[in-house]
Amino acid sequence: MSVVMRKRVVGVFALNAVRKAFVAILPVAALALAGATLAIGATHRPVMRPLGRVTADAEGESGRGDGPSTPTGIHLACRPGRRFALTQTIPNRSGTAVTLTGAGLDPPSVQVIRRIAVQFRLAPPPPKGDLFVIGLRRWNRSAARPVTIPPGRSAWVQSNFLMSSCNLLSPDRTLIANKAITLTYQANGRSGRQRIAAASTRIILTK
C-alpha cells in the first residue's frame, strides 16, 4: 500500500471516530440544555394567587355608637373626621417567598369613608396554646413598605380609613365598605396582583 493510500485510510478512520464521538455526545448535550431551560423556566414561572384567605377576623378601634363585629362585618357609627384602622392576617400559601409591594387605595373622590393608607408587617409564626398576638398598630398615613412573606408564614395588612360627609348617609340605610382589598406582589421575579375579600372584615357603616 502506498504512502498516499495509507494517509487516506487513516484520515477516513479519524473522521469516522470524530463522527461517532459527536453522535454519542449530542444526546447528553441536548439533555443538559433541556435541563437548564427547565430550571430557568421554573425560576421565573409566575406564581398565581399565592395569598390565602384571611385567617383572623379584623381587629379595629371601636367607638361610641358602634355595633358588634359579626361574621358578616364590623358595624360602625359614622362620624366626620373619625379615623378607623383594622388589620387582616393574610397567609402565603405558595411554596415560594412572596413580597407584598403595594395595595389599592381609595381616590379622594370617594365620600363618607375612604382607605387612605395601608401598611404591611410580617406576622410571627402561629402561636401555641392560648397565646394571642394582636397586629393592630395606631392609625397613620404612612405609605406601605414592601415585606417578604416566607412560605407558610403570614403578613399583617393594616388599612387606615377616614370618615367624612356622614350626612350623606340616610338614617334607615347602611353603607358597606372594605368589601375587598387588591394587593400587588412579587414572586419568582414576576409581578402580580390579587384581590382579597373576607365578609368578616367588611365595614358596615350607619349614621
Span 144-149, average pLDDT: 96
For residues 178 and 161, is the Cβ–Cβ distance under 8 A?
yes
Q: Per the confidence metrics, is the pTM higher than 0.85? A: no
Cβ–Cβ < 8 Å for 48, 188: no
According to the model, what pLDDT value does residue 171 have?
A: 85
Cα torsion 133, 146, 99, 193 to 10°: value is 110
- Per-domain boundaries in the chain: 1-43, 59-206
pLDDT for res 147: 97
pLDDT in tens, 182-203: 999 999 999 999 999 988 889 9
Whether residue 42 is predicted with pLDDT greater than 70 in this model: the reply is: no
> Would the pLDDT of 87 be above 60?
yes
Strands 190-196 and 181-187: antiparallel
Looking at this protein, which amino acid is placed at residue 108?
P
pLDDT band per the 50, 70, 90 thresholds, residue 134? confident
Q: Write down the CATH number for the domain with range 59-206.
A: 2.60.40
Please name the residue that has the C-alpha cell 387588591.
Answer: 182
Q: How far apart are CA 74 and CA 159, in angstroms?
A: 14
Q: What is the phi/psi pair of residue 139, to 5°?
A: -55, 135
